[in-house]
Structure 1
Amino acid sequence: MHDKTMRAAPTVNGLDMQAATATIAALKANPELAQFQFRARNKWIDGGVNISTIRDFYGAGREDDSRATDFTFTNGEPPVLLGNNEGANPVEFLLHALAGCVTTTTVLHAAARGITIFELSTELEGEIDVQGLLGLDDSVSPGYREIRIKMHIEADCSDEDLDELLAFTPAHSPVCTTVCRPVPVKVERVR
């Protein structure tokens, strides 16, 4: 096991603990700063191909302009779903988003608890019945029936502390809680 004196380091799990403490204090003093609006823009190209760009967002009481360029993501489909593997498909991107958010949430809350993570990796899988997507059977949901996250984690804490952290994480991961509860999605035509 690694030396526990690492807990006193200015960073834990790559996170600046002084900045984290200052951020938490600012949010406690002014909860309005916790309101964020994230945005994505998408353009259909052809067939199952469309491209999403992400750049700007609102947070901490202002529009954020820290990103010099767009993040671009190509959504595609495999040949069996009428595509040419132009990119991961949207339900695979959902797994990517879920993995990233659960990982980041775990790292953040481990650091807050003084737990140093040495290794962390996840594998996600879920099943979809495409009869729902294609409208072939109205009793079949077009979404995932279940998503399983297998997490390998090594840290400088007891198994009990690790189990407690992993039980806490899903309920505080924004993507996980969005997927696990009904969230209204409104589609409106813009003219």
Structure 2
Amino acid sequence: MSVINDIDVQALQDTTAAVRANPHLGQATFSVNGSWQGGCRLTTQTGALTQGGERDETRVARYVMSSDEPTALLGTDSAVSPAEYLLQALAGCYTVTLAALASERGIELNAYRLELEGDIDLQGFLGVDPTMRPGLQQVRVRLHVDAPNTPREQLNELIALVESRSPIRDTLVSPVDVATTLA
């Protein structure tokens, strides 16, 4: 069994082969359930994970997340903001994707860290300028990858592959249908 970057390379290859043989196994649905706590505060718990048509209830309420806004943005600064969660989601997805792809290619990582920033113009959210998007205008990711046995050119190729394969990055850069209903 080969483990690189704490990734079981054989398990990764087996998973890839299983999804290649049965694409239905690659379909997953994540879920969370949230409750408003007043003001800008929300408490959310993980819900069931469905993969390949099989529902896994063991994740229900296993993890709790809280969000709020900084005081300068109408919140009480009691928790991470939704924008910071979005940046964390991208950082986490980059980490999963980079570690898996590096391991698959035999690239050993000594260390890896990210710096992310996201710009927003509140004119869109506040309705001051209806032509302004209410969402983030740009996200910048700066990667620090310590892989001393890997040439920079190979690391650049790895990062390009991470950009093309990261599910969260893809969600951010490509239109995704968000269906909202009133229960």
| TM-score, normalised via structure 2 length | 0.94
Please tell me whether residue 174 in structure 1 is matched to residue 167 in structure 2: yes
Conserved 8 A contact 2:49-2:59: no
Inter-partner Cα distance in structure 2 for 1:167 and 1:135:
37
Report the equivalent of 1:33. Answer: 25
Instruction: Identify if the C-alpha distance between structure 1 residues 147 and 68 changes in structure 2 by more than 3 Å, giving closer, same or farther.
Output: closer
Q: State how 1:80-91 maps to structure 2 within 5 Å.
A: 80-91=72-83
Pick from 7, 10, 14 the counterpart of residue 6 of structure 2. Answer: 14
Q: State how 1:97-136 maps to structure 2 within 5 Å.
A: 97-136=89-128
Tell me the amino acid that sits aligned with residue 174 of structure 1. P
Tell me the amino acid that sits aligned with residue 101 of structure 2. H
Pick from 66, 70, 95 the counterpart of residue 78 of structure 1. Answer: 70
Inter-partner Cα distance in structure 1 for 2:52 and 2:5:
23
Pick from 129, 144, 148 the counterpart of residue 152 of structure 1. Answer: 144
State the Cα distance separating 1:53 from its structure 2 match.
Answer: 1.0
What is the aligned residue count? 182
Tell me the amino acid that sits aligned with residue 184 of structure 1. D
Q: Unaligned regions of 5+ residues in structure 2, if any? A: none
Q: CA deviation digits over 1:49-107, x for unaligned, max 9? A: 01111132101441124437521111101111121111111111100101110121111
State the Cα distance separating 1:18 from its structure 2 match.
Answer: 1.9
State the Cα distance separating 1:109 from its structure 2 match.
Answer: 0.5
Tell me which moved more, 115-124 or 77-86: 77-86
Tell me the amino acid that sits aligned with residue 28 of structure 2. F
Please tell me whether residue 57 in structure 1 is matched to residue 43 in structure 2: no
Q: State how 1:39-50 maps to structure 2 within 5 Å.
A: 39-50=31-42
Inter-partner Cα distance in structure 2 for 1:48 and 1:70:
23
Instruction: Identify if the C-alpha distance between structure 1 residues 104 and 24 changes in structure 2 by more than 3 Å, giving closer, same or farther.
Output: same
Report the equivalent of 2:178. Answer: 185
Inter-partner Cα distance in structure 1 for 2:130 and 2:22:
47
Q: What secondary structure is seen at the aligned counterpart in 1 of 2:90?
A: helix
